Amino acid sequence: MKSSMAELPDETDMLTEQEINGSLTPNPLPASLWRRMWRASITAIAYLLLYILSQVTGLWVLYMLNGYRACPAAYKVLGLLQYILSNAESSDQQMEIWRVECVCPLLATLFLGVVILGTGALFCIRTLVPGNSTGFHDRRQSMSRQPSFTYSEWTDAKQEDFYELDAVPETPVFDCFMDMKTDDDPTTLKVKPVGLQERRGSNVSLTLDMCTPGTTETYGMLLSPRDQSAQEYLENASNPLTPAQLHIRALDDAVLQAEFYEAPMNFVDPKEYNIPGVVRKNRYKTILPNTHSRVCLQGTEEDDFLSTYINANYLKGYGGQEKVYIATQGPTVNTVGDFWRMVWQEHCPIIVMITNIEEKNEKCTEYWPEDSVTCEGIEITVKQFIQADDYSLRIFTVKYEGEERSLRHYWYTSWPDQKTPDKAPPLLQLVQEVEEARKQAPPSSGPVIVHCSAGIGRTGCFIATAILCKQLRHEGVVDILRTTSQLRLDRGGMIQTAEQYQFVHHVLSLYERQLTWRPEE
């Protein structure tokens, strides 16, 4: 975003409006012209000296080929140069180079000189003629990778796979409703136009509010004008798509990239967590939890901030229901205990892991046991293991102070970092199975924990897909821009790259076709 992008999009180079204006403002013409002429003159002199050196060296080699030793050959070259400069009459001694056996080396020497002079002339011309500067739009578009999937590949070759999926449950799993403003024309995109500097801002509090353990922090934060513009954009961005519009939009990569880069990432300023020891609890130093929605652990000491800190945020579900998901980073060696404390504290029934342990480097530590382990006083025991084609399921028994709960751990391994899966049906099947498992969980169960490595890219795609599939079933339309913006309000950077944003559109388009094209009985 990466990078790399870490799950950092390569999206970390944020240009300000002043930098862009400054880079596009041409320098005064006379000074620029004189600089180019000076560089061209130096280049011409350098190539001319190189040409002379090559010819002298070539003549010296020719005389050595005629039987002279090194020093006499050098003397003969000096004599030939004196002959050329003095315009003296030709002599047999100076014409030795024109022997038949010396014609080929002589021609090679002359050809080398022509090549050197031609190359020097080209460099001089390139120095004198100014090149075209690359605009910001091109730089921004170059940050996106081409999708690793094709639409036709799914719609044609893999269309049969959709029919093999289980039927979508009629009873909704995430029974909630979003605070959504309906427009008269749902096909129009209604967002407040903002400047580049405003769009690249993040929703950052100017003061860090130490929350009461076990609660979320208040949202009444003091924001700068730039942050207010970013927050206002994310709160108001909306672009509902009907099924027909969704299918067309899924094929328009240029429009999707423009829409993706328009929405602020809403990353947190690292200065907000300028507290000793916090850096050891973050996998990536630039991916931090937004303060108003971060999960606060119940600390052993009231004044100990580190005991309450974990890099995780509560996220709303379909219809705006609070605390339906928790998005978090992949646990590190230093945070395994905090992770299991959060699982127990929040009564989480399901964990969805969307990363491998290593992908070039470590993406997540193996925080679960092979059989049984006790961590922070919590006993975790593996009761059942099921291996599917694209993911595995472990069912744990979690005990603490005499209380016992069941926990399901889904591990999806077919999704590379900062990229997209090669096929959609396994992901849709996993989304459907997680919804069904949440439906069967006890009523007192808490949020579903979803994590990848940084907890924003693949995590954002999975949560957005789950929300939007339900919106498509209930409303017949999808608002991917609004869902993405709402997720970023609670955790910055959700859906990390333009390719992932395109992937969500493709998945929803294919899911809509799955709902429409039911096989005849």
Q: Which residues line the annotated binding site?
A: 417, 452-458, 496
- Residue recorded with tokens 């204006």: 21
> Which residues are CB-contacts of 489 (< 8 A; sequence separation ≥ 6)?
203, 231, 234, 235, 266, 290
In angstroms, rounded to a whole number, what is the distance separating the alpha carbons of residues 280 and 259?
35
**101-106 long-range contacts, CB within 8 A, separation 24+:** 101/65, 102/62, 102/65, 102/66, 105/58, 105/61, 105/62, 105/65, 106/58, 106/62
In angstroms, rounded to a whole number, what is the distance separating the alpha carbons of residues 140 and 477?
30
Structure tokens at 9: 């999009």
Best CA proximity match to 313, nearest among 274, 358, 268: 268
3-state secondary structure of 372: strand
> Is 71 designated active site?
no
> Which residues are CB-contacts of 19 (< 8 A; sequence separation ≥ 6)?
none
CB 109 within 8 A of CB 58: yes
Helix (H) or strand (E) holding 110: helix 103-128
3-state secondary structure of 323: coil
In angstroms, rounded to a whole number, what is the distance separating the alpha carbons of residues 77 and 63?
8
Binding residues for substrate: 417, 452-458, 496
3-state secondary structure of 170: coil
In angstroms, rounded to a whole number, what is the distance separating the alpha carbons of residues 434 and 374?
26
Preceding omega of 3 cis (within 30 degrees of 0): yes
Phi, psi of 328, rounded to the nearest 5 degrees: -145, 165
CB 305 within 8 A of CB 283: no
* 188 DSSP 8-state letter: S
Of 364, 452, 461, 469, catalytic: 452
Structure tokens at 297: 């652990």
CB 448 within 8 A of CB 436: no
- Residue recorded with tokens 């990239």: 257
Please give the positions annotated as active site.
452
